[in-house]
Structure 1
């Protein structure tokens, strides 16, 4: 019983959950309130890079040009109808740069607000000159928490602008495809590039789900082999992480369904099948994380059933021992009385006889309990 102390499960859960690493999802209500009061476009979130940097890729089937550019650049003038232009912005905290990019590309003020709001749920909006996508990327951060990053995409007829909170490796393989001319990306338009970028984000979800599933498998072994109190705390933590992923994937799927179910001048009919496939993959990810949540719920039930079983076994042993010693205690109590005229007190072998009766009683009750499978 050293490794399995009996305690109140509700008290254990409350104590353990207070020690969890908090999920990286903050509403930033103070910043939102201040922005509403001033009426200005404002950054809602936490600064994650020191300086905003901008990269520009321009490519077609024959050539590719990559360079770092200034945030104040006139991007619209630099774009070419014959080439696909991809502007990638690292960092969202510099409102002036985002506003300049928005002014150059004639982005609606609402779009600029949504780009700067890191709490925005995944969505898609269509305007006269562009499509706007908002999405969250989720990756593991260490061994106990998730890193949630807000990403936005603006899709024009021949350009894509992506906004990231920080520099990361989400799209390194896509850049490599562009530079090395791998796959179809150099032969397709901007709508195909956005599909590839969204697919890269979805891959991050699958990677994170696989990481959580690995931790769940380890928990399963511990629950069956040696259930300890810290297991339930870890299970609740994994549930929170899983629910965070599910809350981000569901609107992501809805956004993809909205793209796939309607015609848009910004997405060619030949590209629709890729968005449909992406939506199917998103549905698969949702089913996978839902299965993970169900598995954790089942593990919780198994844990508490195991806890109850352990307690029942303990109580059964203690009850059996107490029951065996009840008649022995009765016999010892009778002959421990101080009456002067007790017939057995003068018997020469009385002491041995009492021990014999007590021993036979113990053995008899032990055999009886064994046959009843109570021991």
Structure 2
């Protein structure tokens, strides 16, 4: 059973799908990949190669002409509750002048918006206008996600100004998010560029111009994600350098303290042995003399370290 099915006129009106073929306009049929009726529908209405593309277990963004139709795969951010946004959802499509078939695995909110509009009697006038409207919604959601991520990276960069602030705990996850988004958006950029350049008879100049804007938006988002990845790497490098600098400083201080107290430890250890013949055992002022000698040795050690410019 289909998720939805509509007949669209070229004036943008909608009607319930009839059993008979269309005289004008086009038909949109939307399936879930697990639908038991999908194989039979594809066998009766879609050529073998596009049908295989619609039911492939794994997909990547693509835009390929096949005879007088188009095979198109696009992705959008995951707005479902079953996973984060960077686990993007796929839309598989096959279109001709009179038929648009879409297949999903998980709910695609952009398609649901178009379904709601169709139920309200409003629809794109041609299959390519349908694609343009879908691409606009998908890329709008992507841009919102990238802008939100950019704002969070801005907040992380603010921590760089305070050397005492710790490494943001969310940095690693945000960087993984940016990398995963870029992984899916880079081929989507290429698919949209290929779609703009297709010589399909379905393409009109007006639709080509609209899709070119979405291709440019995809390029912008990919470049923004690359910049965000680099900026988060810079934040990580800064905090790593600060931690190394602090560890080096602490080690330096400990080395100076050890250099000052090493001779003192030797002298006190030497005078602490319990054997006969130690000088000053019978002298009342011997302990005071030893303490004074230790003070002099400490001052001498500090003077030597300053002369060597270690402190």
**TM class, shorter-length:** 0.7 to 0.9
Q: 2:204 & 2:261 partners in 1: Cα distance?
A: 86
* Structure 1 residue 64 corresponds to structure 2 residue 4: no
Q: Is contact 2:136–2:214 with CA below 8 Å preserved after alignment?
A: yes
Which has more radius of gyration?
Answer: 2
Out of 215, 236, 245, the residue aligned to residue 279 of structure 1 is 215
* Structure 1 residue 136 corresponds to structure 2 residue 81: no
Q: Kindly report which structure 2 residues correspond to 1:302-341, keeping only aligned pairs within 5 A, or say none.
A: 302-338=238-274, 340-341=276-277
**How far 1:217 moved relative to its partner?**
4.1
Aligned match of 1:85 = 27
* Structure 1 residue 208 corresponds to structure 2 residue 158: no
Aligned match of 2:3 = 53
Aligned match of 1:127 = 66
Q: 1:370 & 1:55 partners in 2: Cα distance?
A: 86
* Structure 1 residue 161 corresponds to structure 2 residue 98: no
Unaligned runs of 5+ in 1: 1-50
Q: 1:347 & 1:148 partners in 2: Cα distance?
A: 87
**How far 1:238 moved relative to its partner?**
3.5
Out of 153, 176, 187, the residue aligned to residue 251 of structure 1 is 187
Task: Tell me: CA distance 1:305–1:55, structure 2 relative to 1, closer, same or farther (3 Å).
Answer: same
Q: 1:294 & 1:260 partners in 2: Cα distance?
A: 30
Deviations 1:197-256 (A, max 9, x none): 01222223223323433444454456754436x94xx54444433222222212212222
Unaligned runs of 5+ in 2: none
Deviations 1:22-68 (A, max 9, x none): xxxxxxxxxxxxxxxxxxxxxxxxxxxxx752342535547433x5x
Q: Kindly report which structure 2 residues correspond to 1:220-259, keeping only aligned pairs within 5 A, or say none.
A: 220=157, 224-227=163-166, 231=169, 235-259=171-195
Task: Tell me: CA distance 1:271–1:146, structure 2 relative to 1, closer, same or farther (3 Å).
Answer: closer
Q: Is contact 1:155–1:194 with CA below 8 Å preserved after alignment?
A: no
* Structure 1 residue 269 corresponds to structure 2 residue 222: no
Q: 1:158 & 1:64 partners in 2: Cα distance?
A: 14
* Structure 1 residue 288 corresponds to structure 2 residue 228: no
Task: Tell me: CA distance 1:369–1:172, structure 2 relative to 1, closer, same or farther (3 Å).
Answer: farther
Give the TM-score of the pair, scaled to structure 1. 0.69
Q: Kindly report which structure 2 residues correspond to 1:90-105, keeping only aligned pairs within 5 A, or say none.
A: 91-94=32-35, 96-105=36-45
Task: Tell me: CA distance 1:140–1:99, structure 2 relative to 1, closer, same or farther (3 Å).
Answer: closer
Q: Secondary structure at the match of 1:93?
A: coil
Task: Tell me: CA distance 1:361–1:147, structure 2 relative to 1, closer, same or farther (3 Å).
Answer: same
Q: 1:246 & 1:296 partners in 2: Cα distance?
A: 14
Q: Secondary structure at the match of 1:139?
A: coil
Out of 127, 131, 147, the residue aligned to residue 87 of structure 2 is 147
Task: Tell me: CA distance 1:62–1:266, structure 2 relative to 1, closer, same or farther (3 Å).
Answer: closer
Give the TM-score of the pair, scaled to structure 2. 0.82
Q: CA RMSD in A?
A: 3.4
Q: Secondary structure at the match of 2:129?
A: helix
Task: Tell me: CA distance 1:239–1:328, structure 2 relative to 1, closer, same or farther (3 Å).
Answer: same
Q: Is contact 1:159–1:190 with CA below 8 Å preserved after alignment?
A: yes
